[in-house]
Structure 1
Amino acid sequence: MEKIAAFKMKLKPGFKEEYKRRHDLIWPELSALLSENNIHDYSIFLDEETDILFAVQKISGTGTSQNLSKNEIVKRWWAYMADIMDTNEDNSPVSKPLEMVFHLD
C-alpha cells in the first residue's frame, strides 16, 4: 500500500539558489538509499515569503525518509546541508510532520 508523507523544514534566508543547486546535484548514493527504502516521487517546495520548505514523498513500504536517521549517508547529507538550514544538534533538519486533511486522486 502506498502512502504519502509531508513535512516542513526551514531554510536560512538567502539560500534558495544554494539549496536548489545542492539538490540538483543530489548524491547518487543518497538517491539510491531513498529508492531502496521505497521512497519515491519526492518533491520539496519553497515558500519564499517565509523560507519554509514543504516536502512531500510517496512511500511504498513502511516508514519515511525521517526513519533513515541512523544511516551514515543521511548523516553526511545533513552535515552538508546544516549551514543553510535550521538544524537540530545532530545536524538533522528541524522538521515537523504535516497531517493530510484532503486528497483528491
Structure 2
Amino acid sequence: MSTHSTPHHRVCFQLAVKPERMAEYRERHAAVWPEMLKALASTGWHNYSLFLRDDGLLIGYFETPDLDAAQRGMAATEINAKWQAEMAEFFVDLDGAPDTGFLQLTEVFNLEDQLAAASTP
C-alpha cells in the first residue's frame, strides 16, 4: 500500500487459465453480465482489468478502498456466486473461488508514489 494518501489500494493478481479454455474465457469476458458489472462497481472494484498471455497466464488489476470489504461485498451478491461457479472451471490449480483464490502480487514500483515522494520537501 502506498505511503501517501490515495483513495484506492492497488491490487494485482495472477491466475492460470487452462489452455484449452482460453478462447471461451476471452469470449465470456468480452460481454460480462451487466448485473455482474454493476455489482463489481458498487462493491468497490474500480479500474478493473484482466490481461491474458498466450500460455494462459492471467494478470488482473484493480483499485479498491478496501480489498476485504470489496471481496465481502461481492460474496454477499447472488450474481457473484453464479459467476464464480461458472468461472472456476477455467482455471488451473485454483484454491477456492477465482475472486478470492488468486495469488496477489506485491507492488514494487509506482510512478505517482515516487513522484509525490520526490516532490515532498
TM-score range, shorter chain: 0.7 to 0.9
Which residue in the other structure is 2:60 paired with? Answer: 55
- Aligned residues of 2:17 and 2:91 also touching (Cα < 8 A): yes
Paired letter, 1:63: L
Relative to total residues, which structure has the larger helix share, 1 or 2? Answer: 2
Larger Rg: 2
TM-score scaled by structure 1?
0.81
Establish whether residue 71 from structure 1 lines up as the match of residue 86 from structure 2: no
Q: 1:104 aligns with which of 111, 118, 121?
A: 111
Alpha-carbon distance in structure 1 between the residues aligned to 2:14 and 2:84 = 15
Residue segments in structure 1 that go unaligned for 5+ positions in a row: none
TM-score scaled by structure 2?
0.72
Paired letter, 1:5: V
Relative to total residues, which structure has the larger strand share, 1 or 2? Answer: 1
Aligned counterparts, 1:9-24, within 5 A: 9-24=15-30
Paired letter, 2:110: H
For the residue of structure 2 that corresponds to 1:38, the secondary structure is: coil
After TM superposition, give the deviation of residue 103 of structure 1 in Å. 1.1
When the two structures are aligned, how many residues end up with a matched partner? 101
After TM superposition, give the deviation of residue 13 of structure 1 in Å. 1.2
Alpha-carbon distance in structure 1 between the residues aligned to 2:25 and 2:13 = 17
After TM superposition, give the deviation of residue 70 of structure 1 in Å. 4.4
Alpha-carbon distance in structure 2 between the residues aligned to 1:13 and 1:24 = 18
Residue segments in structure 2 that go unaligned for 5+ positions in a row: 1-6, 113-121
The Cα offsets for residues 47-77 of structure 1, whole Å up to 9 and x where unpaired, read as 223x111000022x22265443343221111
- Aligned residues of 2:9 and 2:67 also touching (Cα < 8 A): no
Paired letter, 1:62: D
Q: 1:5 aligns with which of 5, 11, 25?
A: 11
